[in-house]
Amino acid sequence: MSKPNQEIHNCILDGDAGKTKILAEKIVNAGSNPTEALQPFITAIRHAGDLFDQGEFFLPQLLLSAKAMQAAMDVMFPSSEGKSAARLSRGTVIAGTIQGDIHEIGKNLVCALLSAHGFQVVDLGADVALDRFVQETEQHKPDFLVLSALLTTTMINQKHLIDQLNDKGIRDGVKVLVGGAPVTSDWAEEIGADGYAPDASRAVALAIKLLDA
Ligand code: B1M
């Protein structure tokens, strides 16, 4: 691992949000592509997850690592609220992490990239109740619902939401895209989603492809 990447790795594992923010600022000031430059941060936070899995990291440590990761995201992908209103919207998106699941870093990245590519994104946050997704869909009639799930125990709620949209008779009016670490294309097909993307860049490509279809 090169030195700057090692520094990033250490800052995330140490849960040092202040230092991580400074490193992210340096990257932004150097004019690097933020999506590519984020990769070592993602590797580091996943390593923190592995350490947690192996019992070498405890939840408070994982939480600090997540805060450091979010500090980098905030610098590298500043909120584009307001900016998107000024330009023509490519399509509308309602996004959120599904009920029962508080992971939101990946979903935030997907929202940031969609927004950067001209989609008008309403981010409902994390642990979003299924009823809320249904209400927002009824009210705003978005082109896409983007559903993130990071837990094997919560991905089932992506299916429950699609079932609820069907029951309400509003399923055909919206394209449902799913993603998140445990989610696969087979799962997307099984639950009747319109698409699956393994990462944020491919989520954007998928949304563009479906809009053009
Ligand atoms: Co948790 N956690 N966590 N966690 N956490 C995982 C997911 C886990 C794999 C860690 C591990 O044990 N190895 C494990 C899940 C195991 C499983 O389900 N089988 C786990 C667990 C168990 C838990 C708790 C249950 C722990 C506990 O309380 N005992 C708890 C969950 C509570 C709950 O949700 N109800 C918990 C809590 C937390 C923190 C709060 C500490 C923190 C989240 C903070 C936050 O988000 N604000 C956290 C973190 C940080 C992780 C890991 C380490 C990192 C997740 C992350 O941010 N990755 C994670 C380990 C791992 O993923 N390897 C882990 C970086 C991010 C950029 O990637 O989110 O995968 P990711 O997003 C990717 C793609 O998946 C995709 O695009 C992104 C990249 O471009 N993507 C989409 C995501 N959403 C998409 C939607 C789309 C398309 C693509 O729609 C079209």
**DSSP states of 132-185 as a string?**
HHHHHHHHH--SEEEEE--STTTTHHHHHHHHHHHHHT-GGGSEEEEESTT--H
- 45 Cα–ligand 1 center, Å: 9
Residues in the chain: 213
| Full-model pTM | 0.92
Q: Are residues 70 and 169 in the same domain?
A: no
User: Tell me, what's the pLDDT at 82?
Assistant: 46
Domains identified in the chain, total number? 2
Instruction: Count CB-CB contacts under 10 A for residue 18.
Output: 9
Among the listed residues 156, 140, 36, 127, the one whose alpha carbon sits nearest the alpha carbon of residue 92: 140
Task: Provide the token pair at 70.
Answer: 């979010």
Which residue has a Cα nearest atom 85 of ligand 1? 179
- 88 Cα–ligand 1 center, Å: 33
Q: Are residues 178 and 136 in the same domain?
A: yes
User: Tell me, what's the pLDDT at 212?
Assistant: 83
Average pLDDT, integer, range 96-114 = 95
Determine the atom of ligand 1 nearest the C-alpha atom of 183: 75
Structure confidence by residue, pLDDT tens digits, 134-183: 999 999 999 999 999 999 999 999 999 999 999 999 999 999 999 999 99
> Above 90 in pLDDT, residue 84?
no
Q: Are residues 58 and 147 in the same domain?
A: no
Q: Are residues 43 and 19 in the same domain?
A: yes
Rg over alpha carbons for the chain, rounded to the nearest Å, is: 17
Average pLDDT, integer, range 17-34 = 94
Choose one of 78, 96, 129: the last residue of a domain: 78
As a whole number of angstroms, the longest Cα–Cα distance in the chain is: 55
User: Tell me, what's the pLDDT at 117?
Assistant: 86
Which residue has a Cα nearest atom 23 of ligand 1? 151
Q: Are residues 41 and 94 in the same domain?
A: no
Share of the chain above pLDDT 90, in %: 83
Choose one of 16, 45, 78: the last residue of a domain: 78
Q: Are residues 57 and 19 in the same domain?
A: yes
- 2 Cα–ligand 1 center, Å: 26
Which residue has a Cα nearest atom 20 of ligand 1? 151
Which residue has a Cα nearest atom 76 of ligand 1? 199
Mean pLDDT of the residues in the chain: 92
> Which range of residues forms the domain containing residue 135?
86-212
Ligand 1 environment, Cβ below 6 A: 42, 45-46, 48-50, 52-53, 59, 62-63, 66, 100-107, 109-110, 146, 148, 150-152, 177-182, 197, 199-200, 203
Which residue has a Cα nearest atom 62 of ligand 1? 46
